[in-house]
Amino acid sequence: MLTGSFWIGLIDRAVKSFAQALLLLWAADGAFNVLEVDVKCALGIALGAFILSVLTSLVSAPVGDQGTTSFLPGGN
């Protein structure tokens, strides 16, 4: 958990989770209309996904391969 690669992996996963949450919300809307998006709500949910991803990576640090953000061996 004290390596640069761990933190790069953590940020990489969290940013992907943030983007996935936004895409999911926009896709669930059907016909995406940028003028009707509730930006505050969408960013709040995406930020929640980001935080959950960070916490998951931190919790998995002692379980998976040393210095990785993965629960499974060879996961990074």
In a domain, 27, yes or no: yes
In a domain, 72, yes or no: no
In a domain, 28, yes or no: yes
Q: In the prediction, which pLDDT does 75 show?
A: 57
Q: In the prediction, which pLDDT does 28 show?
A: 76
In a domain, 15, yes or no: yes
Distance separating alpha carbons of residues 72 and 19, to the nearest angstrom? 23
C-beta separation of 71 from 63 below 8 A: yes
Report the chain (76 residues): mean pLDDT per 10 consecutive residues: 84 93 79 73 91 89 72 64
Q: In the prediction, which pLDDT does 34 show?
A: 65
Please state the domain count of the chain: 1
Q: In the prediction, which pLDDT does 50 show?
A: 95
Note if the pTM is more than 0.85.
Answer: no
Domain of residue 48: give its range.
4-60
In a domain, 74, yes or no: no
Q: Judging by beta carbons within 10 Å of its beta carbon (0-12, 13-18, 19+), is residue 5 exposed, middle or buried?
A: exposed
